[in-house]
Amino acid sequence: MFYPYFLGEIWELHMLASPRMRPFHRSYYSALCLTLFLGGCASAPELKEAAPVRGPEFTGLRIEDGPGSLGSEPRKHPVTLLVLHHTAGSLPSSLDKLQGKDPKHKVGIHYVVTDEPKPRVIRMVPETMAAYHAGKSAWGRLVGLNQHSIGIEVINFDGNVYGYSEAQAEVLFALCSEIIRRHDLRPWNVVGHSDISVGRKIDPGSKFPWSKLASLGVGAWPLAYDVRMNLGRELDLSPERFRSMLKAYGYVLEAGEPGLKHGVEAFQRHFRPGKVDGCIDRETVALLEALLRRYPETTAGGEAIRP
């Protein structure tokens, strides 16, 4: 049955009312529910527009309840991943698209971070629902990651070209850290769309503030000491070994040389943004070995070479 979202609001008003007034509110609420229930049985209205979204409060961060999105479905799996995106479009066009009204390209997202001087956070889909943001995707042993993740879209036309503002990074830190805490997410499971759709997606791009966020405790990053130690010794740069290490960290690659090159690019876009060329050089190997050392319990778990 269609559940009118404003019932929640009326109930909240009721709870805010003085105890003396509550009996009156309660009878009004019951009558309204009954009327709506009977009305709903007679002719269930078709859901043309998604209902505005309500969700958990965030400390120190104001979340605006957005217009909702039809690009969502009931969640069947616990949240284990947080996926970051850039919108590749303006705020108005992105908000329009993310309402999932196009039946041929139904998309959705949990949160949108705007590109205004004081970025706002707009909630489109509640965390209790799965949103259609990841598409064809895989990480470690998981595939079809919409069901396993929370998605955040950041307004940016191309995060490989245009930087993210300091203010956006600050808002992202507040938003992500609370989601991570609430769902007890592991650092290596805070990923970019390009990490989980290798060769298909390039967002949120090499300009995304991964290292800054990681320094504040959001997401994974190798220890500088380990990277330096690795660079000071001989390293195995063989493609087979690097593929195994990428797999051990969580990356899911297509077979063959192009698949590996896309994997190296995705890794570099996240962890070596200064040079994204798909070449397995010493620095790239040193970074991945240091990551595996710091996080020995990565998603794929012990199937491949450990440094």
Binding site for Zn ion (CB under 5 A): 85, 193, 203
Do 140 and 250 touch, CB atoms closer than 8 A? yes
* Whole-angstrom distance, CA of residue 220 vs CA of residue 239: 23
Determine the distance from the C-alpha atom of residue 226 to the mean position of all C-alpha atoms in its chain, rounded to a whole number. Answer: 28
Catalytic annotation, pick one of 153, 234, 240, 265: 153
Q: How far is the CB of 203 from Zn ion (least distance, A)?
A: 4
Amino acid identity of residue 128, one-letter, is T
57 is catalytic: no
Round the CA-based radius of gyration of the chain to a whole number and report it: 22
Q: How far is the CB of 197 from Zn ion (least distance, A)?
A: 8
Burial class (CB in 10 A: 0-12, 13-18, 19+), 185: buried
* Whole-angstrom distance, CA of residue 40 vs CA of residue 32: 12
What is the longest distance spanned by two Cα atoms in the chain? 78
Dihedral pair phi/psi, residue 277, rounded to 5° = -125, 0
Q: How far is the CB of 172 from Zn ion (least distance, A)?
A: 15
Dihedral of CA 144/150/153/158: which sign? negative
Q: How far is the CB of 85 from Zn ion (least distance, A)?
A: 3
Q: Which is nearer to Zn ion, 241 or 262 (CB)?
A: 262
> What are the angstrom distances between the C-alpha of 185 and each of 1, 190, 226?
34, 8, 24
> What are the angstrom distances between the C-alpha of 102 and each of 153, 166, 177, 192, 284?
18, 33, 32, 24, 40
Amino acid identity of residue 80, one-letter, is T
Q: How far is the CB of 61 from Zn ion (least distance, A)?
A: 22
Q: Which is nearer to Zn ion, 155 or 290 (CB)?
A: 155
Determine the distance from the C-alpha atom of residue 239 to the mean position of all C-alpha atoms in its chain, rounded to a whole number. Answer: 30
Active site residues: 153
